[in-house]
Structure 1
Amino acid sequence: MGDFPSGQQLAESAQFVAPVPFMSRERFASVVGLPVGVIVGMINKGYLPTVDVGRYSCVNVALLMRRCGDASLKLSLWEL
């Protein structure tokens, strides 16, 4: 039972990220541990999906997670 952190520990942890559909480039960079310039480059090359919110362009985390799930499904079906 002691293996799982309490809600208080999760709230205080810097690694805890609430499930959100999109986030700023800066926040996404800090969550994944890469410099903002690398994230901007990945966005410019089309590797990361974005969504426009007003005048801001945010990383579309929901679509990215969906693509990752689809890729793992394709890999598991390929093994059959």
Structure 2
Amino acid sequence: MEVEDLKANQFINCPPLMPWRQFAVWIGMEDKQQHVRGWCDKGYLPTVRMGRHRMVNVALVVKQLLEQEDF
């Protein structure tokens, strides 16, 4: 799976922020968590630092996915 394979309907009823490891499990990549960490490090996924923790900005991911689906 690649970042481009994510679909907005995967994120129905999700929290606005989620720890990157939990996000990896949520999208079905629990066995490839380091790929998700790489996406965060490279800026492919929007993140927010909260203290020592890196949270995926799920709300922004959904917004970007919905914008892509309009094309």
Q: TM-score, normalised by structure 1?
A: 0.65
* Identity over aligned pairs, percent: 34
Indicate yes or no: 2:42 matched with 1:63: no
CA distance in 1, matches of 2:62, 2:13: 14
**By how many angstroms is 1:62 displaced?**
0.2
1:27 to 16, 22, 37: 22
Q: Max radius of gyration: which structure?
A: 1
CA distance in 2, matches of 1:26, 1:57: 9
Number of aligned positions between the proteins? 58
Give 2:20's aligned amino acid. Answer: R
- Residue 49 (structure 2) aligns with: 52
- Unaligned runs of 5+ residues in structure 1 are 1-16, 76-80
Instruction: Select the structure with the greater relative contact order (CA < 8 A; seq sep ≥ 6).
Output: 2
**By how many angstroms is 1:18 displaced?**
4.3
CA distance in 2, matches of 1:21, 1:62: 5
CA distance in 1, matches of 2:33, 2:66: 25
CA distance in 2, matches of 1:62, 1:46: 15
